[in-house]
Amino acid sequence: MKNDLEQYKRLIRYAFILILILGQGLAFLYCWKTQYNELIQLPFVEKGHWLMAVYYLILQSIFLYNFDGFKIGYFKKGHIYISQVLSIICTNLMIYLQIALLSARFVTVVPIIQITFFEAIFSLLVTIISEFVFNKCFPAKKLLVIYDEYKPDNFVDKLNSRKDKFIVDKTANISVGLDEIRALMDSVNGVVLFDVHSEARNKILKLCFEKNIRTYTTTKVSDILIRGAENVHLFDTPLLLYRNAGGLSFEQRFVKRALDIVVSFIMLVLSSPIMLGCAIAIKLYDGGPIFFRQERSTINGRTFKIHKFRSMIVDAEKDGKPQPATDDDPRITPLGKFLRATRFDELPQLIDILKGDMSLVGPRPERIEHTEAYTKEVPEFQYRLKVRGGLTGLAQLYGKYNTSPYDKLQLDLMYIQSYSLLLDLRLLFMTLKVIFLKESTEGFTEEQSEEMKK
């Protein structure tokens, strides 16, 4: 079952992106020529106007890329719109600072605020229309889920949460054989391989390639290690080189630490009024301690005490045993719910970053008990400790509080294997978006919490 329009999907996405950035660029150009050009020290003529427009489009494209605003038809409408609004705000803030420099003074902000609202409305219209077009042209794909020894029930639930993208039509165990799987493929648009071992996976992948059918597969640790390998062409047999260097190189660690110091210091200064307000509110609420301190594990298994604003009642774990937070956990105070929803409870970790106990970006530092328990369940979980724990990261951005240890491990390994300064900067930008996404703060279910206690 093939959708003939599928070949035009990227072209349609690029068309909407072009409409978006040109529409916003023209809005800025009008604002610049009519409101700001006469306010600068040496007003521009025609070529100068186009230069400012190009500069605006470059800034806009950079922020849209870093906030995932280009992924029209990929993320949900709300995700895309939040990404684009954040891009608009950041772009207009940067362009206003540029105008202030050209004017040698802070000029009126009213025009830039007006085009921000106009661009937000224009972006909303583009988002609504693009979603309508994508839903009409590219309906949800009927999937065949093939699994091995583990039943894919939880994973199927995740697929079902995106009814706009996927419809799980059939599930089949690999034991039914390749002939039966080949027959089942004739009535679906895609195949999902859920935790299928390499031998069977290779055969099915080749079959899907032969039949030109889209294939998704869940990853294993070895797949992620392959992504970090280098091509070696010394002779006519291709080789992959796995350096397995044990974390980041000296140069990467130096640059990463420099970024941590500079950014954490600036963020501490900028967020100090918020942190002071949070501290006062916590103290006034119940008179208990302001900070919550807890031992966490980081690089090479080293332990440190993490700092957070207290969001639970005093003595939330009286017996000393870890009790993972669940949805609607009665131990979380009303003020604590606000702190968690806004992520203000995480702000004191900027102190841990400045001290060197944490990094801005990296695997989430887990509780000692959790690290030990997860490592018993998934021995490779210790691979996360090849780098310093971070305030944000792939697992924090794409995962949730209740993401499974194995999925956390894979996301963190993806980060470690593909580390770069640009990746760190991009993940920092994306962290701003996550604050507005409710599902990222989803807690453990009661069943998950009881299982973790055991």
Residues 99 and 33 sit within 8 Å (Cβ to Cβ): no
Structure confidence by residue, pLDDT tens digits, 183-237: 999 889 899 999 998 889 999 999 999 988 999 999 888 888 888 788 888 888 8
Q: Which of 123, 59, 65, 69 is nearest to 97 (CA)?
A: 59
- What number of CA atoms fall less than 13 Å from residue 32's CA on the CB side? 26
Residues 5 and 139 sit within 8 Å (Cβ to Cβ): no
Contacts of 161 (CB under 8 A, 6+ apart): none
Residue 452 predicted with pLDDT over 60: no
Q: Domain end: 104, 137, 170, which one?
A: 137
Predicted TM-score (pTM) of this structure: 0.82
Structure confidence by residue, pLDDT tens digits, 272-318: 999 999 999 999 998 889 999 999 999 988 999 999 999 988 877 76
Domain that holds residue 445: 250-453
Structure confidence by residue, pLDDT tens digits, 370-426: 899 999 989 999 999 999 999 999 998 888 777 888 999 999 999 998 889 999 999
Question: How far apart are the C-alpha atoms of 418 and 426, rounded to whole Å?
Answer: 13
* Backbone φ, ψ for residue 311 (5° rounding): -115, -5
End-to-end CA distance of the chain: 47
Q: Is residue 189 part of a domain?
A: yes
Q: Is residue 364 part of a domain?
A: yes
Considering the domain architecture, whether residues 113 and 198 belong to the same structural domain is answered as no
Considering the domain architecture, whether residues 133 and 146 belong to the same structural domain is answered as no
Question: How far apart are the C-alpha atoms of 48 and 39, rounded to whole Å?
Answer: 14
In terms of Cβ atoms closer than 10 Å to its own Cβ (0-12, 13-18, 19+), residue 191 is buried
Tokens standing for residue 90: 């950041």
* Number of domains making up the chain: 3
Considering the domain architecture, whether residues 400 and 259 belong to the same structural domain is answered as yes
Output the pLDDT for position 125: 96
Considering the domain architecture, whether residues 148 and 130 belong to the same structural domain is answered as no
Considering the domain architecture, whether residues 35 and 95 belong to the same structural domain is answered as yes
